[in-house]
Structure 1
Amino acid sequence: AAQRGVLAELPHHELGYPDPRGLPRLRTALAELLARRRGVVADPERIVVVSGVAQATTLLGLVLYARGMREVGVEDPGSPQHDALYAAAGVTTLPLPLDDEGLAMGPLRESGVRSVVTTPAHQFPTGIAYSARRRTELLDWARSVEGFVLEDDYDGDFRYDRAPVGALQGLDPERVAYAGSVSKSLAPGLRLGWLLVPELLADEVVERKRTMDLGYPTLDQALFARFLERGDYDRQLRRCQRAYRERRDTLVAALEEHFPGAQVTGIAAGLHVIAALPERYGPQERFLARVAAAGVAVRPLTDYAHARAGDSGRPNVRLVLGYAHLSPARIRAGVRLMAEAVAGRGAAAAGR
């Protein structure tokens, strides 16, 4: 419906080369949405419409490299995509450990980096929400080194049991570059996201965006602007919230039924949980082999750590289990098949 409306009303002159930042109409709508839902300081002039957080990351990497920064800190464990994206811009990633409040400040201060990538609303993959104290410490560090915090708000809209945690960018928009997308709320294949940049980086990011692709496709921008303006995106987020909560609850209940004693964490928000299984299900390497033979695809927490040597034989099995794209019925079936596989009934499970 939004596509039909846009195609009927879009003036021909708007199909010329777009502003590399994005259509003013969309940037204005995004600024209102992000200020209202995520608490960011959203000046439409500092919003750049991008092809997802991956392009936002590459743009930031290129700008940091041009400023002489050859290394950026990343959370460990964290998203494995950051390494390759920054490497493509010539920037090396330095793994930095976490503690119970978020990124550990001691190793960060000692590292010598001046920029760090974070997921403070719901750390990926551990599920930690950065504490208020840690957020303050992180911003104090960025000011002290004249550096930047690169905030990936990959699932900040999805918090189920309490009010959403506001974006870090709202506390210091001059030291935090903020990125988000519609990948978790609509579809990854749309390749549509946004980047809010500090004033110090704005001109450089916009110029890099211009030389990279001459701007994001106009029709898609106008379509999403209309979707935002009419309240359709808010309704979509509410639908997602209900569906994801149901799927999370289904997963937790299935794990309790089929893997008694499992510890499930990171469930208050996001689109995945961490499941630590009792020692009797280990070692991890054997567990993974059995469930794979049964046709169930799961990833261990160790896949998201930078230093994994010797971890595959650990007695405890720790899994990162995503649930957003699976129906409740498929979630229940998948957990049941895992349980059958590790109980020695994998051959029967694989034949179903």
Structure 2
Amino acid sequence: MRIWGSRFRARGSEGAGVEVPALDRNSEVALSRQLLEWFRDAALRGDLAGGERLPATRVLSSQLGVSRNTVCEAYELLAAEGYIECSVGSRARIAQGVALRDASYSRRSPSAAAVARASSGESGYPPIVADFRTGRPDTATIPRKTWIRAVLLASESLRDRDWLYGPSEGSMELRAEIASYLFRSRGIRVDRDSVFVTAGATHALHVLALVAARRGRAVAVEDPCHSGMLGTLRGVGLRTLAVEADESGMVTNALRGLDAGWGYVTPSHQFPLGGVLPAERRAELIAWARDRDAFVAEDDYDSEFRFAGLPVAPLWGMDPERVVYVGTFSKTLFPALRIGFALVPRALRDEWRDARVHSDVHNPPFEQAALAHLLEDRTADRHIARMKRRYASRRTALLESVAREFEAGEVRVLGDASGLHIALRIRGGRFDADFERRARARGVRIAGAERHAIEKGRWTDTLLLGYGHLDERAIERGMALIPELLRMERAPD
């Protein structure tokens, strides 16, 4: 809280030299709290030096036109926090050593917009005219009223015990509905005891990373690999070993002799290249896990939105006791839901529970109950089917735009069979971090696959085009800008 307004010096011999604020009587913040914060700021800035006496409570209350109790309460809080020292029979003094060395200290915070711009790297850039970010679903079509009704119904139907701490693995009702949904959507037969609810796929990987870190073995990851997921693994101190990925996913024969106890793969829709891991490589990956007594985390990235045939069978089905299957409702419903799940092998369940309960305990019961209801009555299934048709139309618009804007043989499309982005290999392209900054300076938000590469240099010619959040017209307008952007990049300085 920062107090604004004019300031004046307390009059009289007992308050001489101490500048005090004009309090805001219309504020919802108590007057004693305003006074506390002003004196604390002044002490931290060094405006009030250590040892300087404060006005007597009676004098200050008279000057401010407030009750003496208000001033006494502020002084008591200042003393409790150690900013002033009080003794019987003498006036309060500013404590020694509380001033910050940086005299520019101020409690005034930057605006929320400024913080958002700075944290997102958007400060100083022009407005966006084309936004091809990956991983963004269409939030304009969220069934808001349906969701709100489901949450209200869930809140009213919760039992008394549901308002307490719940099981770290999630509610039994939601776990059962997720198991049923997996059978309908992916053909997976699983009992609810295998399903562990999480706060999204990233959180599931975080919990798994905590388990892996305790076991002290390295993780083999695809290269390129989602930079956010890589950061999650490394963030708990795990050592990651890069394994080359090509247009068909992880090159599994590179695992031979690798000293790792875990693997992380996206076999149904490799991120960011979009490939499907072939059966031979899947078998080789499972054989490696068995030989090494290892476990594999299968991130089923964007698998629900497959536009050519049925969804790809999960790796999990080849060995449920070696594979931790990770899924989420962030793309199928909406990202803010923050509900995902993992199918956890029996050997890891106790360790998983312990890691989860010591990280964030459990998901809120209201959202769990609401999602269970939408899965049970198939509202979620119908919404996902509608979104799949919508995304298929946008995918078609994007592929047609690519064909229209580029000459045959100049580009090659990767990963267009599923998901909400495609990878575009462009002959002679170089799409590194410098390119991304220059593109953003021209109003185009776009990234290259190189952003997600561990070993740099192999995918500099590949652009990533996210389209889930764009309608057909926005896709066409944005794609019309790409060739011109490339020409400007290739033009001599």
For normalisation by structure 1, the TM-score amounts to 0.90
1:47-82 per-position Cα deviation (integer Å, ceiling 9, x unaligned): 11111111111111111121232x101100111122
* Deviating more after overlay: 333-342 vs 21-30: 333-342
Is contact 1:83–1:92 with CA below 8 Å preserved after alignment?
no
The residue that corresponds to 1:334 in the other structure is 478
1:133 is aligned to 280
Alignment gaps of 5+ in structure 2: 1-148
Distance in 2 between residues matched to 1:201 and 1:289, nearest whole Å: 43
Residues 21 and 287 of structure 1, relative CA distance in 2, 3 Å threshold: closer
Instruction: Verify the 8 A CA contact 2:154 2:366 in the aligned structure 1.
Output: yes
Between stretches 207-216 and 264-273, larger displacement belongs to 207-216
Corresponding residue number in structure 2 for 1:23 = 171
Helix, strand or coil at the partner of 2:444: coil
- 1:301 matches 2:445: no
Q: Pick from 79, 82, 87: which aligns with 2:234? A: 87
- Select the residue among 420, 425, 428 that pairs with 1:276: 425
d(CA) in 2 for partners of 1:109, 1:323: 37
Shift of 1:237: 1.0
Correspondences of 1:43-192 after superposition (within 5 Å): 43-69=191-217, 71-99=218-246, 101-192=248-339
Task: Go from structure 1 to structure 2 and tell me whether the alpha carbon gap of 1:284 and 1:46 turns closer, same or farther (over 3 Å shift).
Answer: closer
Change (3 A) 1:242 1:61: same
SS of 1:326's equivalent? coil
Residue 39 of structure 1: how far off its partner (Å): 3.1
Higher relative contact order (CA 8 A, sep 6+): 1
Change in CA separation of 1:142 and 1:170 when aligned onto 2, cut-off 3 Å: same
Confirm or deny: 8 A CA contact 2:209 2:238 kept in the other structure: yes
C-alpha distance in 2 between matches for 1:321 and 1:329:
15
Is the 8 Å Cα contact of residues 259 and 277 (structure 1) preserved in structure 2? no
Which secondary structure state, in structure 1, belongs to the residue aligned with residue 468 of structure 2? coil
Equivalent residue number for residue 357 of structure 2: 210
Gaps spanning 5+ residues in structure 1: where? 346-352
Contact 1:76–1:95 (CA<8 Å) still a contact in 2?
yes
* CA-to-aligned-CA distance 1:301-327 (integer Å, 9 cap, x gap): 211111225x79x6xx32011111111
Alpha-carbon displacement from aligned partner over 1:280-303 (angstroms, at most 9, x marks no partner): xx4546865664332111111211
Query: Identity rate of aligned residues, in percent?
Result: 35
Q: 2:208, 2:436 → 1: CA distance?
A: 36
SS at match of 1:84: helix
Deviation digits for residues 158-198 of structure 1 (CA, Å, limit 9, x no counterpart)? 11011110111122110000111111112222211001111
Alpha carbons 2:253, 2:284 under 8 Å: kept: no
Distance 1:145 1:5 in 2: 48
- How many angstroms does 1:36 deviate by? 2.6
Q: How many pairs are equivalent?
A: 338
Q: CA RMSD in A?
A: 2.0
Alignment of 1:189-338 (within 5 A): 189-261=336-408, 262-279=411-428, 282-284=429-431, 288=436, 291-308=439-456, 317-338=461-482
Relative to structure 1, is the Cα distance of residues 176 and 150 closer, same or farther in structure 2, using a 3 angstrom cutoff? Answer: same
Aligned mate of 1:2, from 126, 150, 157: 150
TM-score using structure 2 length: 0.65
User: 3-state SS of the aligned residue for 2:219?
Assistant: strand
SS of structure 2 residue aligned to 1:275: strand
Higher share in helix: 1
2:126 is matched with none
Q: 1:45 to 1:287 in 2, by over 3 A?
A: closer
Task: Tell me, yes or no, if the aligned pair for 2:247 and 2:274 is still in contact at 8 Å.
Answer: no
Selected match of 1:14 from 159, 162, 165: 162
The verdict on how the C-alpha distance between 1:65 and 1:290 changes in structure 2, with shifts beyond 3 A counting, is closer
User: What is the CA–CA distance in structure 2 between the aligned matches of 1:323 and 1:114, rounded to whole Å?
Assistant: 36
Native 8 Å contact 1:39 1:167 kept in 2: no
- Measured in 1, the distance between the counterparts of 2:470 and 2:454 equals 28
SS at match of 1:136: helix
Inter-CA distance 288–206: structure 2 relative to 1 (3 Å threshold): closer
Helix, strand or coil at the partner of 1:268: coil
Matched-pair contact (CA < 8 Å) for 2:150–2:370? yes
Q: 1:250 to 1:199 in 2, by over 3 A?
A: same
